[in-house]
């Protein structure tokens, strides 16, 4: 994907097959060993291998998960925060996700109630948390 290509939405990434990020919620942001880790409550769609019929008190299948961006070299916000990646991550807000797009081979933009966060890193990895 070259820099002149149009952004690619998260629904076109295999990592996010059968999930709905626009129905998911960011709980925290932090950095572990050069990896940006976003702790989320993830909305699973019926085609996802770990989908379960919602319990009586639930409306949707929501599972705890991490979205990881390995080798995160840069993190920024529209507000222009500066500092180390870990410092910026610790200051990011929480809330509902509205979108995640691939801007080019290593640049991503995540937007939601927390604003827009730009990430320069390797391709994201989605990990569901164990029981």
Q: Model pTM greater than 0.85? A: yes
The answer to whether residue 2 scores a pLDDT higher than 60 is no
HEC-encoded secondary structure of the chain: CCCCCCCEEHHHCHHHCCEEEEEEEEEEEEEECCEEEEEEEEEECCCCCCCCCCCCCCCCEEEEEEEEECCCCEEEECCCCCCCHHHHHHHCCCEEEEEEEEEECCEEEEEECCEEEEEECCCCEEEECCC
Domain ranges of the chain: 8-128
Name which residue leads in pLDDT, 116 or 81.
Answer: 116
Give me the pLDDT at residue 1, please: 47
CA distance 91 to 29: 8
CA distance 32 to 106: 19
Q: How confident is the model at residue 4 (pLDDT cuts 50, 70, 90)?
A: low
């Amino acid at each position: 994907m070259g820099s002149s290509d149009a952004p690619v939405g998260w629904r076109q990434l295999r990592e996010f097959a059968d999930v709905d990020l626009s129905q998911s919620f960011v709980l925290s942001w932090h950095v572990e060993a050069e990896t940006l880790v976003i702790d989320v409550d993830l909305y699973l769609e019926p085609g996802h291998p770990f989908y379960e019929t919602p319990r009586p008190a639930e409306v949707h299948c929501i599972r705890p998960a991490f979205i990881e961006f390995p080798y995160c070299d840069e993190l920024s916000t529209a507000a222009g925060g500066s500092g180390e990646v870990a410092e910026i991550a610790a200051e990011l807000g929480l809330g509902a996700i509205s979108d995640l797009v691939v801007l080019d081979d290593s640049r991503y933009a995540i937007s939601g109630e927390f604003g827009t966060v730009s990430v320069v890193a390797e391709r994201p990895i989605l990990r569901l948390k164990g029981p």
